[in-house]
Structure 1
Amino acid sequence: MRTFWIGAVAVLVAGGAWWLSDRPDSQPLAENGQALAVVTIPATLSTEARAGQQAFVENCASCHGTNAEGKAGLAPPLIHKIYEPGHHSDMAFVMAARSGVRAHHWTFGNMAPVPDVTDAELGSEQELLEIVR
């Protein structure tokens, strides 16, 4: 019986260590303002993706970086496994821009709504994010 409990505790400790090491907020951060990811934009973009790129630069890049790479001390990279469709739907991006979002994956703090972004621009930004994800 004692062996069972030792094994159970070992499994819990190992699982907890894995969970903590895989959390975005446990990853080492670069100096404030530095990019947190490397993102390569395709050489050719559709008309919709170019419109999304422009909308992103105008509304999001000041915090999330020109190519959604994030900025240390300011905002997370949007090109990260937690933003893949299996974890966050595309509508989560739209709702974040419209209504803001409470911090729940990262330690950057809450995101405020983006007041000047239009629904048409949000649709275009989704096109761009689909291409680079």
Structure 2
Amino acid sequence: MNPKYFVIAVFVLGGAAFAYDKFWPKPENPHSVQTTAGEAGAPLVNVTVPVLSAAGEEGKVLFDGNCGTCHGSNAAGQDGVAPPLVHVIYEPNHHSDMAFVLAAKNGVRAHHWRFGDMPPREGVSDADVAKIVAYVRELQRANGIH
């Protein structure tokens, strides 16, 4: 193949890929379950709360004191504030328990949502995060996220 045609083909395909990504309508994420009408601070998902284990109860107390201000009651997220943790994005196969530990310790650069970066959580130990994760995982399982 003539190198000139190869370069032209690369530019044409690259331009087409850019245009497709930039301008082609994207289907709604089937796992995005926003249930609000855009009311700031409103929960983003409906969460079924199960009967919690002892570890889940401990985790709920820690979650409410350290995470709930942003991630909402029962990890349902808050419109305009922070995402729901009871969401398929945070299933164990995508975000391991260690991802939660690292997020609390180091903060997180925004990458799945448009809420902005999450700052580190001062004063939350790895043991605390483990209990918080136990609570979140119980909520997830009760809501069909495994």
TM-score in terms of structure 2 length = 0.72
Residues 35-94 of structure 1: CA distance to partner in whole angstroms, max 9, x if unpaired? 10111211x222111110000000000000020000011000111111112221121111
Question: Does residue 106 of structure 2 align to residue 99 of structure 1?
Answer: yes
1:127 to 125, 134, 143: 134
**Coordinate RMSD, CA, aligned:** 2.5
1:38 to 35, 46, 55: 46
Which runs of structure 1 show a deviation greater than 6 angstroms over 4 or more consecutive aligned residues? none
Alignment correspondent of 1:71 = 78
Q: Which amino acid aligns with 1:126?
A: V
Q: Which runs of 5+ in 1 are unaligned?
A: 1-8
Alignment correspondent of 2:124 = 117
Change (3 A) 1:46 1:115: same
| CA shift for structure 1 position 24 | 7.9
Tell me which moved more, 53-62 or 28-37: 28-37
Equivalences, count: 118
Identity %: 45
Change (3 A) 1:29 1:89: farther
Q: Which amino acid aligns with 1:41?
A: V
Residue 79 of structure 2: SS of its match in structure 1?
coil
